[in-house]
Amino acid sequence: MRTVFLGGGRITSALLAGLCLANFRRPVLVHDRNPHKLRRLREVYGVSIGTDLHRAVDKAQLIIIAVRPASVADLLRQIGKVGRPLYAVSLAAGIPLKNLRSRLGPSVRWARAMPSPASRSGRGLTALTFDRGFPAAAAREVRTLFGKVGSVLEIPESKFDAFTVTYSSSHGYHALATLAAAAGKIGLDRETALTAAAHALADGIVAWREGNTSLTALLHEAATPGGIAAAVMQAMDRARYGRVIERGLKAGLRRARENAKKN
Ligand SMILES: NC(=O)c1ccc[n+]([C@@H]2O[C@H](COP(=O)([O-])OP(=O)(O)OC[C@H]3O[C@@H](n4cnc5c(N)ncnc54)[C@H](OP(=O)(O)O)[C@@H]3O)[C@@H](O)[C@H]2O)c1
């Protein structure tokens, strides 16, 4: 399938990097309103580029909507009705299929995907959901495309916003920055604090993902009852660590729902 990315920003760049790494050989074209971004993508990833939106869409069998949620309606208006079979995958956070379904006409079939910048290294995770009537063969192509840059998870659309707010690399970076800052306050220099925090967060989680020991067992092993790690965790729980995370996720959900209302 000839795939055309509409929007050549951060997530497109991460996906292209992952596809390159995976030696993805199928034709890919990127359209963006900024010619300098397109030139850079061509230079770095060897993709075709197109500054003319209609020509780009005309060449596509699969379009990937990779503009910000607030720009989606405008982009789809510019495309107008498409009078031939076309598959469209929207990456736009929060915008439901019901808002997209009729925008390009009845011959366009829609799906949503939620990848992350971790796709860049081939270690991403992408949630997918397909609208009714999305043909099985085309769905296979979409799964294959995102499967090149990491794991693929198919979930019902009703879970998409919850997945979006939970699956963000920002959680890891935020936790890293917060843990390192706290370590700085109790006496570690910045470099040692970041190194210790990065190992603390990443190594155990990688081991959990790659092994088959339960999270409860690993937590028990890492925090001996009555020991230092247990004291740290208890203090954090008393300060309502879980509640803080929950509030963060709920704020993300509210934002996703605003995207749905506005767009
Ligand atoms: N970044 C992530 O980690 C991530 C992860 C999953 C999903 N997503 C979703 O992916 C979408 C893109 O996110 P992003 O972070 O890649 O955004 P971004 O870096 O802002 O990239 C979007 C690109 O599309 C261009 N654009 C906007 N409207 C256009 C139009 N009408 N015609 C042509 N080009 C247009 C933008 O140009 P200007 O700069 O001139 O506006 C920009 O170059 C969003 O809907 C987001 O929810 C992002």
The pLDDT, as a whole number, for residue 25 is: 87
Q: Each residue of 61-104: pLDDT tens digit? A: 999 999 999 999 999 999 999 999 999 999 999 999 999 999 99
The pLDDT, as a whole number, for residue 19 is: 97
Rounded to an integer, what distance in angstroms lies between the CA atom of residue 216 and that of residue 233?
14
Instruction: Determine whether the shortest distance from the Cβ of 19 to ligand 1 is under 6 A.
Output: no
Rounded to an integer, what distance in angstroms lies between the CA atom of residue 65 and that of residue 3?
11
The pLDDT, as a whole number, for residue 207 is: 87
Residue with structure tokens 């081991």? 207
Q: Each residue of 30-63: pLDDT tens digit? A: 999 999 999 999 999 999 999 999 999 999 999 9
The pLDDT, as a whole number, for residue 1 is: 83
Ligand 1 centre to CA of 43 (Å) is 19
- 37-46, 109-118, 218-227: which range is least confident on average? 218-227
Instruction: Determine whether the shortest distance from the Cβ of 7 to ligand 1 is under 6 A.
Output: yes
Instruction: Determine whether the shortest distance from the Cβ of 92 to ligand 1 is under 6 A.
Output: yes
Q: What is the mean pLDDT of the chain?
A: 96
Sign of the alpha-carbon dihedral angle for 60, 63, 66, 69? positive
Ligand 1 centre to CA of 67 (Å) is 3
Residue with structure tokens 């292209």? 16
Contact indicator for 25, 2 with CB cutoff of 8 Å: no
Contacting residues for 14 by C-beta, under 8 A, at least 6 apart: 115, 116, 117, 118, 119, 120, 124
Start-end ranges of CATH 3.40.50.720 in the chain?
3-163
Instruction: Determine whether the shortest distance from the Cβ of 234 to ligand 1 is under 6 A.
Output: no
Residue nearest to atom 46 of ligand 1 (CA): 92
The pLDDT, as a whole number, for residue 263 is: 81
Instruction: Determine whether the shortest distance from the Cβ of 71 to ligand 1 is under 6 A.
Output: yes
Contact indicator for 109, 131 with CB cutoff of 8 Å: yes
Contacting residues for 126 by C-beta, under 8 A, at least 6 apart: 113, 114, 115, 116, 119, 146, 149, 150, 151, 152, 153
The pLDDT, as a whole number, for residue 194 is: 98
Terminal-residue alpha carbon distance, the chain: 28
Contact indicator for 30, 5 with CB cutoff of 8 Å: yes
**What is the CATH architecture of 169-261?**
Orthogonal Bundle (1.10)
Q: Each residue of 241-263: pLDDT tens digit? A: 999 999 999 999 999 999 888 88
Ligand 1 centre to CA of 252 (Å) is 18
Residue 115 CA, closest ligand 1 atom number: 6
- For 9, phi then psi, to 5°, come to -95, -140
Instruction: Determine whether the shortest distance from the Cβ of 69 to ligand 1 is under 6 A.
Output: yes
Fold of 3-163: Rossmann fold (3.40.50)
Choose which residue among 6, 13, 15, 32 to substitute to test ligand 1 binding: the one with the highest number of ligand atoms within 8 A of its C-beta. Answer: 32
Ligand 1 centre to CA of 15 (Å) is 13
